[in-house]
Amino acid sequence: MNIRDFEYLNALGKFLNFKKAAQYCNVAQPTLSIQISKLESYLGCFLLERTTRRVNFTPLGLQILEYSQIILREIEEIKTIAQQSTSNNIKTFHIGISDTLPEYFISYITTTISENAPNFKLNVTIDKPETLFSLLSSMSLNLLIVSSTKCPDNFISASLINFPANPQHSASTGNNEQPISILGTYSEIKSKICFRSGDKNIDNYLHIGNLINDSIDIISKKQMIN
């Protein structure tokens, strides 16, 4: 038994017709009929008297219909309360960051987002890439920021601008060559964002990626000037 079952029941109470109720709920008529039958089986009673022309509710069905309407109204109240509590447009995202990225870069990412997107609240998980991809797949995380590791095929990825090696965490080669980052012989840190295909928050994830890219671009230009 779930909220959708009450919506189907309420539609039947409104139209007293399976076809019209199914159209109202934007589902196939057999789907609605099967779900109502499952609800009757779950409750252990008949809610409807089915005829060839119309649907009649049993006396018990009318009582349950009344309660289902109350439940649906309460759910709308809950939604209203939730919307009011987030009137400042705060969005919470659970972000996973790979532990293969250096600590200073992780700190830079979170600081950049918090300073440039105050309406975004981040819950950050730092772990191994394979663990993060598993959490993303199970919808425990919204977005990943990982090293240049290839994202699995069922995810969408977008590369970030290469982050310059932090001078505090790099060493000179002795002949004025590019500094060496703590990741090895690369002078820049390569990373990307990954998220689930079809996620309704994709625009927000791309916005996060753009914020990071913009800030990295500023740092890169400053290093070139210096």
Q: For 62-113, how does the pLDDT look when each residue is reduced to its tens digit (9 = 90+)?
A: 999 999 999 998 888 887 767 655 555 678 888 899 888 888 888 888 888 8
Q: Which residues contact 37 (CB under 8 A, 6 or more apart)?
A: none
Q: Scan for tokens 């009137």, then name that residue.
A: 87
Phi, psi of 115, rounded to the nearest 5 degrees: -80, -35
Which pTM value belongs to this model? Answer: 0.49
pLDDT tens per residue, range 106-134:
888 888 888 888 788 888 899 988 899 88
SS3 state at 153: coil
The confidence score (pLDDT) of residue 48 equals 92
The full DSSP string for 165-191 is: PPGGG-B--SSS---B-TTSS-SEE-E
